[in-house]
Amino acid sequence: MSPSKDEGGGVSPQNKGSWSSFLKSIASFNGDLSSMTAPPFILGTLSLTEFSAYWTQHPAVFVAPAAEKDPAKRALLVLKWFLSTLKPSYSTRNDKYGSEKKPLNPFLGELFLGKWEDEAGTTELVSEQVSHHPPVTAYCIQNAKHGIKLEGYNGQKASFSRTIHIKQIGHALLTLTPPTSSTSNAQSLDPAPSAEKETYLITLPNIHIEGLIYGKPFVELNGCTYISSSSGYVARIDYSGKGWVSGKKNSFTAVLYPAGKEKDILYTVEGQWPESFTIRQGSGKHGTVVDQFNARTQPITPLTVPALEQQDPWEANKAWEKVINAITKGDMDSTNAEKSKIENAQRELRRKEQSENREWERKFFVRRDKSEEWWDKLAQGCAGERIESEKTGGVWRFDEAKAREASRPFHEGLNPC
């Protein structure tokens, strides 16, 4: 759907007063900002369950590591793929609408299903809202042809201190079956259940929102994240933004090194994640250039989702159809009314579950109370990373058996709104 005029240029003149009032309410709010009700005029037309698709807008880049025999180069290709996901994940809405928009908060059980089809074959996506309090989205993306799978989950905790800060809680796991490997000098951590499998633990960046005072918010990443592999390599990505005196917006520096040998840098990557980056051998800016990536010009494979009339009521586009239409038309009264219908219906479902002493049935994912045995080994390469299951309602993993059984209608006799 095309955005409305109001959606396309930040906060419109007629909403400036409401925007100022909203900022004042944020500044004085104590607690998690995600629990606040945002004014309809800053709502986007995407649900958070749809954000899982940003991991794989470039399927050929996603599957490339599975074909690389050398483990160090394979780890580099995983890093390249991860960096290629940053622009779609954190800049797409700003490019499309002129400013960052608040996504629709998914309801428990909401689904978003689709697939990419191109020269990489078929890559399938499953995204499910597995928890509402706290809000958590789980996802699985896999390409059977290349034997590669990404799964993960994340929640968000937002607070205000001069600007909005969002801590992402959760992680992603990339698993692949590499071809016959060449000899590696790195020490293998080998946490995977099968010796043939290779696993990469991916931590998630923290976010803060810039441009609030001008009514044109945009995302900036801060701190650092890690990619730790069972083959014995670690990538560290450091994020920075434009300061008062120097620096460039949305900048980063990444290094790849053998686990436990931070000074033995094999590759360095530098650039701006919404624009382009350059990969060099060794450390510093003077190493030999081995690859480059331009996020602006890299072709995007469109995600294919079922037509609305074919979707189940629990699928995001179908469930939010009337809300999305109202936002697109700039009809804020209808936006509020339609959102309220979904929210009230969900409250009624929770009350019924509580009275019957039962829990909501997830269709594709299962909760685990703690991490797998290999977690501690991979997390050694990720400074400060730990499982915070109490903040995400558990550790969420894709369940192949449940997925095989799942089909439309997903919750027969139940409607989310």
Q: What is the pLDDT of residue 137?
A: 98
Our CA angle for 48, 53, 57, nearest 5°, is 145
Q: Are strands 102-104 and 43-47 parallel, antiparallel or unpaired?
A: parallel
Mean pLDDT for 303-324 is: 97
Going 254 to 255 to 256 to 262, the CA torsion angle's sign is: negative
Confidence of residue 97 (pLDDT cuts 50, 70, 90): low
Q: What is the pLDDT of residue 193?
A: 44
In the predicted model, is pLDDT for residue 7 greater than 60?
no
Mean pLDDT for 280-285 is: 93
Q: What is the pLDDT of residue 246?
A: 54
Q: What is the pLDDT of residue 33?
A: 62
Q: Hey, what are 356's tokens?
A: 């019957």
- The H-or-E segment that residue 352 falls in is helix 332-355
Q: What is the pLDDT of residue 251?
A: 95
Mean pLDDT for 25-29 is: 70
pLDDT, greater one: 27 or 114: 114
How many C-beta atoms lie closer than 10 Å to residue 289's C-beta?
Answer: 9
Q: What is the pLDDT of residue 211?
A: 75
First to last CA, the chain: 22
Q: Give CA–CA dist 154/168, Å, rounded.
A: 6
Q: Hey, what are 222's tokens?
A: 């801060």
Q: What is the pLDDT of residue 374?
A: 83
In the predicted model, is pLDDT for residue 245 greater than 50?
no
Q: Label residue 297 exposed, middle or buried (CB < 10 Å: 0-12, 13-18, 19+).
A: exposed
Cα distances from 50 to residues 6, 129, 204, 343, 399, in angstroms, run 22, 10, 17, 19, 20
Mean pLDDT for 29-42 is: 66
Amino acid at 302: P
Q: What is the pLDDT of residue 256?
A: 98
34 close to 156: Cβ distance less than 8 angstroms: yes
Q: What is the pLDDT of residue 34?
A: 64
Mean pLDDT for 400-414 is: 95
Average pLDDT value for the chain: 87
Confidence of residue 185 (pLDDT cuts 50, 70, 90): very low
In the predicted model, is pLDDT for residue 189 greater than 70?
no
Q: Hey, what are 387's tokens?
A: 């499982």
According to the 3-state scheme, what is the secondary structure of the chain?
Answer: CCCCCHHHCCCCHHHHHHHHHHHHHHHCCCCCHHHCCCCHHHEEEEEHHHHHHHHHCCHHHHHHHHHCCCHHHHHHHHHHHHHHCHHHHHCHHHHHHCCCCEEECCCCCCEEEEEEEECCEEEEEEEEEEEECCEEEEEEEEECCCCEEEEEEEEEEEEEECEEEEEEEEEEEEEECCCCCCCCCCCCCCCCCCCCCEEEEECCCEEEEECHHHCCCEEEEEEEEEEEECCCEEEEEEEECCCCCCCCCCEEEEEEEECCCCCCCCEEEEEECCCEEEEEECCCCCCCEEEEEECCCCCCCCCECCCHHHCCCCEHHHHCHHHHHHHHHCCHHHHHHHHHHHHHHHHHHHHHHHHCCCCCCCCCEEEECCCCCCHHHHHCCCCCCCCCHHHCCCEEEECHHHHHHCCCCCCCCCCCC
Q: Give CA–CA dist 296/345, Å, rounded.
A: 41
Place of tokens 């080998």: 190
Mean pLDDT for 24-45 is: 70
Confidence of residue 216 (pLDDT cuts 50, 70, 90): confident
pLDDT, greater one: 367 or 9: 367
Percentage of the chain beyond pLDDT 70 is: 83
Q: What is the pLDDT of residue 80?
A: 98
In the predicted model, is pLDDT for residue 226 greater than 90?
yes
User: What's the gap between Cα 89 and its chain centre?
Assistant: 6
Confidence of residue 2 (pLDDT cuts 50, 70, 90): very low
Spatial CB neighbours of 44, under 8 Å, sequence gap ≥ 6: 7, 93, 97, 101, 102, 103, 104, 327
Confidence of residue 96 (pLDDT cuts 50, 70, 90): low
Q: Give CA–CA dist 318/309, Å, rounded.
A: 8
For 47-77, the pLDDT digits (tens) are 999 999 999 999 999 999 999 999 999 999 9
Across 4-13, 140-149, 169-178, least confident range: 4-13
pTM of the model: 0.89
Place of tokens 């990619």: 227
pLDDT, greater one: 94 or 321: 321
In the predicted model, is pLDDT for residue 379 greater than 50?
yes
Q: Are strands 365-368 and 289-294 parallel, antiparallel or unpaired?
A: unpaired
How many C-beta atoms lie closer than 10 Å to residue 143's C-beta?
Answer: 22
